[in-house]
Amino acid sequence: MPFDAIEYINTPRWLTSRLGLERIRELLDRLGRPQDRLKFVHVAGTNGKGSTCAFTASILAEAGFKTGLFTSPYVETFHERIRVNARNISDEDLTAATLRVRECAEAMEAEGGEHPTEFELMTAVALVHFAHVGCDIVVLEVGLGGRLDSTNVIAAPEVAAIVSIALDHTNLLGNTLAEIAHEKAGIVKEGSTVVSWPQEPSAMEVVEDAARRAGDKLVVPDFSLLSVGKVTRGAALLTCGTALEHEGHTPCSDSPRCAAELRAEHAVPAQKLQASSSIDAHRTPMSQVEGTLPMRQFSYRGREYATRLLGSYQPSNAAMAIEIAGALRERGWEIPDEAIARGIAETRWPARFEVLDQPAGMPTVVIDGGHNPQGAGVLADSLRDVFPDKRPVFLVGILADKDYRSMLRAVAPLASAFVCMTPPNPRALDAVDLAETIRETCGELGARATIEVAGDFDDAASAARKIAGPEGLICAFGSLYSIADVKAAFLRAADSNSLQP
């Protein structure tokens, strides 16, 4: 019987989460320490990790570097967790790397040690693959926390980046922002540059202290210099580096949820990015990047950018990536301004305010991976911004260990209806219990919304379409574990609709 890498990695008995670095260190030692042959951008935080990683990896690839990207969880296919220059790992390469890892993991267990966990196996497979294909640099997303996460087995990265920190996984990481920040800041090591979101004061103090003790430079995006524009279709970009002064761009500081309001006083000027003329001749001109796709326009530090990631929060994540690129450039990496702009424009990242392609006569469908209160809040802001005249039908599935009441309070005032489903995860909140919580939340807020419970994903998509109508808006959110099934259900519905006379 052929070896199934995914089945092996997902073997139930090592799916548990056990923080600590002893097992991953031993496993990688047996594998020849592949991490020592690689350079890294290491990214921790609560919200925006995946998008920041995607922006950063895209910029580096556009600059001509062979760039690995390791993220979790996957949204549509297991292979997307390990990517090189935007291409998922192949079945053959996944099998080859996993067989090497299995041999060492089984030897550990046979000799009386602990078998590595699923995430430790996955981390080792990724590092083996990235080293094997000769990546110039790897963008490495922390799985949980930072200090004891298996990705923290690496030596000092080129950049240690910490995105927005919020209360999440409090049973493991702590009950206060300061406690959680301590775990996230555990990725800071001597010899790196630290790039941090302007955190709340208690969290920012922890990050600043970690950078100070390591003797590392700390860079914080200055969101007062971020102007967020509207979503447009097919708008040509100006030449990279031109100041954005046309109508439709709003300074970030005017936004009700702007990160600058979180702690603008901590924002310090980062190294100003210097122009470079070393642009690859084969690259697509910026004016041709967008085509007719919807793009979010924004400017940062006087330069103009556009992104396919439409959420109102994405320019802030892009600004983090711009500062990471600036920090790398200061460390000797050649990253032209044009590569930064093109990398941001070319970034694709599923389930982050993703608008699905739907045929005429179908409601607009937005898929978002928001799965905690802060994520739900920025989702609500994006819906108000991009679809100001629509009341969405929310298709919701949530894990029981999340602060789902706060999540629901963020979106309930917008809702015309909720369709509840149970995510395919042992930690899932049952759809019936979710519906009852929504009724209570709407009652507390004086919100009026229809509430339905669906038996499966196809029933949920069908119910949401029926309620929304052809001109309506559907927004699916609550758990990344549901995204692939939700998207598949809507795509099946779209295919069925297109076949009708």
Nearest to 146 by CA among 118, 172, 124, 127: 172
Q: Of the given ranges (127-136, 274-283, 289-298, 354-363), which has the lowest mean pLDDT?
A: 274-283
Confidence (pTM): 0.82
Q: Are 45 and 184 contacting, i.e. CB atoms less than 8 angstroms apart?
A: yes
Neighbours of 210 (CB within 10 A): 24
Interior CA angle at 240 toward 238 and 243, to 5°? 70
Statement: residue 483 has pLDDT above 80: yes
**Beta-carbon-side half-sphere exposure of residue 500 (alpha carbons within 13 Å):** 10
**Which ranges of 191-308 does DSSP label H, i.e. alpha helix?**
201-214, 259-263
Residues 195-253: pLDDT tens digits? Answer: 999 999 999 999 999 999 999 999 999 999 999 998 886 544 433 433 333 334 444 43
- Element (H or E) spanning 67, and its range? strand 67-70
Q: Are 140 and 156 contacting, i.e. CB atoms less than 8 angstroms apart?
A: no
CA 494 remoteness from chain centre: 27
Bridge-based pairing of strands 417-420 and 393-396 is parallel
Q: For residue 350, what are its two tokens?
A: 């599923």
**Which ranges of 77-236 does DSSP label H, i.e. alpha helix?**
91-110, 118-133, 170-173, 177-184, 201-214
Please, which residues have CB within 8 angstroms of residue 410's CB and are 6 or more apart in sequence?
373, 376, 377, 379, 380
Q: Are 146 and 160 contacting, i.e. CB atoms less than 8 angstroms apart?
A: no
Residues 38-64: pLDDT tens digits? Answer: 999 999 999 899 999 999 999 999 999
Q: Are 253 and 264 contacting, i.e. CB atoms less than 8 angstroms apart?
A: yes
Statement: residue 376 has pLDDT above 70: yes
Residue-level length of the chain: 501
Neighbours of 466 (CB within 10 A): 14
Nearest to 340 by CA among 292, 281, 274: 274
pLDDT of residue 2: 87
pLDDT of residue 249: 42
pLDDT of residue 67: 98
CA–CA separation, 135 and 121 (whole Å): 20
| pLDDT averaged over every residue in the chain | 86
Can you say whether residue 215 is alpha, beta or left, with left for phi > 0 and alpha for psi between -120 and 50 degrees? Answer: left
Residues 172-193: pLDDT tens digits? Answer: 788 899 999 999 999 999 999 9
